[in-house]
Structure formats: structure tokens, C-alpha cells
Amino acid sequence: MSTQTPTMAKGLDGVIAGETAICKVEQHALIYRGYEIADLAEYASFEEVAYLLLVGEKPTAAQLEAFNDELKGERGLPSHVRDQLKNAGELVKKHSAVPMDLLRTAVSVLGHFDPECQDNSPEANLRKSKRLLAKVPTVIGHMQNAIDGKDYVEPDDSLDHAANLLWMMTGQKPSPEAVKVMDVSLVLYAEHDFNASTFTARVIAGTLSDMHGAVTGAIAALKGPLHGGANEAAMEMLAEIRKDIGPDNDPKKIQDWMHKAFEDKRKLMGFGHRVYKNGDHRAPILHALGRKAAEARGEEFVKLFDLGEAVQKIMLDEKNIFPNVDFPCGMTYFTMGIPVPQYTPIFVASRVSGWCAHISEQHANNRLIRPRVAYTGPDLRKWNA
């Protein structure tokens, strides 16, 4: 056993904690299994990206068709989970639950009804991955239906993953433009190497626990505002600015608000990234799509993007901090009419593809993840001294 003092970094900043063939995150590139994110966002559907992550290669036309058919066939939920979600409205309105809590619980319960829950073989893991990928949007849709006090909107087999997600949440067939924006956002959020939620999933999988348990833990990690919840927090911050300064987007008022936030050392959500010091590659892609959607919807939404761009400029000019993908995501989903508390659950509908790929990879080449710690407590002492 080595007696060398382990390397210590707060938050594991910069520490290489393992190997993966799934994703590469660099200052100047985000790569899924060899494909750069801008390339995927422009040319690949989310289903193609999910197949790439889970199986390891770009699907042929026949493989993609079979994959889509499998996902559509697995969208339905067990009656127990459907019944459980009927209480979503009461839990949200009368208690302290938020949609991420309800989604986390539903995924955990889905494990009880999956016949392969305890089987960690590569074949079973792939089948479970497809089932989870298919069912998470249904959970989100039924949850939102219950919160709205409406009957469940059932999955539509004529719709792809992104369109079906929007359909089940609203009961309205989405426009091709809305489907495109949602599809690209799912591609952008699908994977990001050892981020907090993925690392959580791998730590759980590293004990040889099951996929549903690992995904449940990942959802709990993603909920936090320093991770997946940042898109909700970013939109809430912009709503606060709009309320404080009024509807005219006066540059002086925006600057005064930002300077007050700087003075108060307030953490402004949707900015900065542990890896991307010179800008998140995903942010401009989603910003451009969101801005286009806002222009199609009208002045109110354009003014939201105007405000966001003013905030971004102040952050960059005065703090040299770039927005991450969560900042344009908040504005874009708001423009699409998606309730703010569902932004992070939608993140799950995408990232579950990356999580499941990592869980499968961990199971296939496992070593228990057990780091050391730098002890800062008292020196050795006697209890009866």
C-alpha cells in the first residue's frame, strides 16, 4: 500500500477520477464518442445521439428505426406510477415537493416494476437504458398534467422524443420550430463527462448497485442550483430583474442592478463553468435558436432576450465570465411556454442517455470509487483524560 500523500483538490477540481470512451470535454471542444457538439446539434436528431451514447456508434437507418420503435413501445408507465403521479398537483401546491422530487421518486419506483432491475449485465443495462429513456418524458408529461389539474395526455407514437415530450406536457401538437428547438436542446444536454450527477451515478454503480438506483441518485444531484437547477435559477433571476427595473430594459437600470448584485457578492446563475473558462460551446447554439423562437413569438419574448444579452455583456465586460448553456436554456424554454419548474426535469429527459451510458461503462469495467480525504479535525486525544 502506498504511503504517498494523495493529491488533494477542493471539489476534485482538475483531478482525473477515471476513464471514459463516452465524452470528451475540453476548453475548445465538446465531443460525444468522437463527434463534436456543433456537428451533432446541426445534423443529428436526439434519438441518433442517444443511440450513439448508449450503443457506441452512429446508427444506420435500420438501426435507428428499430431503436425508435423500441422507445415508442416503452413509453407507457406501470399503473402504480401513474396513480402515484396523480398526487403531483397536491404535493407541489400544498407541500414542499418540486417536480424534480417527483421525478426522482418515480424513477426509483420504476425499478420495482422492471424485471431486469437487479441484472447489471451489458445486455440488461442496454434494455433498461431504453426503458428509462422512453419513460422519463411520460413521467414529466403526466406530472405536469396533474399539476395543471387535467387528465393525462397519453404518448403519441407518431411523434419523436422531443415532440412527444412537448405534446404530453401541453396536450397540443407542437410546431416544427418548437420541436427543432427542443430536439437540439436535448442533444446539447445529453452528456458532459464526469459532471456532478454523472459522477454520482458512477459512484453508485461502482458499488455494483443497479441502474435505477444510480439514475435516482443522479437526479438528486442534478436538482441542485449549482448543477442542473441552474437553468431554473437563471430564469428566476431574469424575472427578478424585469420586476425590479420595469419593462423598458433601460441600460442604466440593468447596469445598476448588476452592480448591486456584484456588491452583494450574489451568485448569478447561468454563468461560469468549471471547465469552459472561455465560453461554453453549447450556449451560443441554444441562444441562437432561442432568439429566433422569441422573434417568432413577439416583442415580449424578444425583450427577454434583449435583457439577457445585456446581462451577458455586463458579466463579460466587467467580470470576464461567460454564460453557460443554462442561461440561454432558461430564456428559450420560457419562450416556448414551458413552466419553469419543469426545466430541470427536461434536462433529465436528455441526460438520462448519458447517465445510462456511464453506468453501463462503470459496470463493464468496475472498480469501487473510494477517494481519500484530508482530515482537518483535532489531533489524537483520550476519551477519559
pLDDT digits (tens, 9 = 90+) for 276-335: 878 888 999 999 999 999 999 999 999 999 999 999 999 999 999 999 999 999 999 999
What residues act catalytically? 227, 273, 326
Q: Determine the angle formed by the axes of helices 230-245 and 251-263, rounding to 10 degrees.
A: 120
Between CA 258 and CA 237 the distance in angstroms is 11
| Residue indicated by cell numbers 434519438 | 47
Extract the C-alpha cell encoding 274.
468549471
Burial-class residue 100 by CB neighbours within 10 Å (0-12, 13-18, 19+): buried
Provide the pLDDT for residue 6.
Answer: 61
Between CA 217 and CA 360 the distance in angstroms is 15
For 254-264, write each residue's pLDDT tens digit. Answer: 999 999 999 99
Question: How long is the chain?
Answer: 385
For 8-53, write each residue's pLDDT tens digit. Answer: 788 887 788 889 999 999 888 899 999 999 999 999 999 999 999 9
Q: What is the DSSP letter of 365?
A: T
The answer to whether the predicted template modeling score (pTM) of the entire model surpasses 0.85 is yes
Q: What is the DSSP letter of 32?
A: E
Q: Angle CA(31)–CA(346)–CA(32) in degrees, nearest 5?
A: 10
Alpha helices in the chain (DSSP H): 37-43, 46-55, 61-73, 79-85, 88-94, 99-112, 122-147, 161-170, 176-189, 196-206, 211-222, 230-245, 251-263, 282-297, 299-319, 326-335, 343-364
Domains of the chain in start order, with CATH, are: 19-224+344-364 (1.10.580.10), 230-335 (1.10.230.10)
Q: Which residues of 343-380 are buried (b: 16+ CB within 10 A; e: fewer)?
A: bbbbbbbbbbbbbbbbbbbbbeeeeeeeeeeeeeeeee
Please give the biggest Cα pair distance in the chain: 75
pLDDT-based confidence at residue 81 (cuts at 50, 70, 90): very high
- Dihedral (CA of 54, 183, 37, 237) sign: negative
